[in-house]
Amino acid sequence: MRYSSFLITFFLILNSCGFGKKGIDVSIKNDTNLTIYNVSISAGINSEVSFDSISPNETLIKFLDMDNIDRVDGSYLLNYTFPDGENFENSFGYYTNGWPNNYLICCSINDSVISTMFDELCD
């Protein structure tokens, strides 16, 4: 009995250490009537995903690798450009000690609002 309790405890600890890649899935949907360019989401200097462009009503998904982030707290930063050259930057969300608090970010960009959801199913 003691041996099986030890094994269960050992595997629970081993599983909770997170030996997979450290990061978060990012979904970005363009809810505008224009193509947006130079879209990027970052979580610090050494962690960024980017898209050259996202067409109207298109949704793209990538994994934001956070393996190279120091043990610091911070927020995510979304940057993008409209065809007229107007740049937008939005800070949102939170990560702790270089680890994401969630497994999924859903961003929806429209003409006047950027909405973000975490750990929800994206539209």
Tell me: the pLDDT tens digits for 101-114? 888 999 999 887 78
pLDDT digits (tens, 9 = 90+) for 37-82: 999 999 988 899 999 999 999 999 999 999 988 889 999 999 999 9
Flag whether 113 is in a domain: yes
Asked, for residue 67, whether it belongs to a domain, the answer is yes
User: Quick check: is 12 in a domain?
Assistant: no
Q: What CATH number is given to the structural domain containing 67?
A: 2.60.40.2890
Within a domain: 1: no
What integer pLDDT is reported at residue 74 of this predicted model? 92
Task: Tell me which residue range forms the domain holding 108.
Answer: 21-118
**What does pLDDT average to over the chain?**
84
Q: Note the pTM of the prediction, 2 decimals.
A: 0.77
Say if 98 falls within a structural domain: yes
Q: Does the residue 16 lie in any domain?
A: no
Q: How many domains, the chain?
A: 1
Q: Is residue 10 in a domain?
A: no
Q: What is the CA radius of gyration of the chain?
A: 18
DSSP secondary structure string, 7-24?
Answer: HHHHHHHHHHT--S--EE
Tokens of 120: 């929800």
pLDDT digits (tens, 9 = 90+) for 15-25: 445 457 899 99
At residue 96, the pLDDT reads 92
Backbone angles phi, psi at 15, to 5 degrees: -70, -35
Higher pLDDT, 122 or 71: 71
- Short-list 19, 70, 74, 82, CA closest to 42: 74
Residue 6 domain-assigned (yes or no):
no
